[in-house]
Amino acid sequence: MSPVTTVDRGPRVVARRVTVNAPAAELFALVNDPRKHGIVDGSGTVKDNVKGPSTLSPGARFTTKMRMYGVPYRITCKVTDHADTPESKVVEWQHPAGHRWRWEFAPVTAETTEVTESFDNRASKLGKFFEIVGVADQNAAGITASLERLAAKYSKA
């Protein structure tokens, strides 16, 4: 059974959560470096990042090589939310069409973190198209796989 659970964020938002045996700062640092997104990507779409900072910040942009349905492409994203405090660590970026990917890291203990990843399609120009072709289900599977991968990477087996 998967340790990943569903989080209800309302319509057109796919969100999942997992508890990871690692400090929030370490996990945040991993996702806050766009060059490392391929390490946790469970969708199989994220390839090499070709341009951008090694540490994201509000308004930062990064370009990533992607592959979906066998078609390679590049996409430039903009950081739309970013917080790095002891209580809350968040990084969110927006694709050109308006949909957003968000990672939240909430410390449970000094060595355990609740990680939530979400795909927010509410403001996307492609929102209706995404719904028709089943992107929400694909993203749910990809998010679940990403979070399972992250939890396994830090498993204390």
Paired residues of 104 in beta bridges: 90, 116
8 A C-beta contact, residue 34 and residue 56: yes
HSE (side-chain half, CA atoms, 13 Å) at 118: 22
State pLDDT tens for residues 3-30. Answer: 999 999 998 899 999 999 999 999 999 9
Q: What are the chain's domains?
A: 5-126 (3.30.530.20)
Q: Is the pLDDT of residue 126 over 70?
A: yes
Which candidate, 86, 87, 113, 90, places its Cα nearest to that of 101? 90
Is residue 72 pLDDT above 90, yes or no? Answer: no
**Residues 88-98 as b or e (16 or more Cβ within 10 Å = b):** ebbbbbbbeee
pLDDT of residue 129: 80
* Threshold 0.85, pTM exceeds: yes
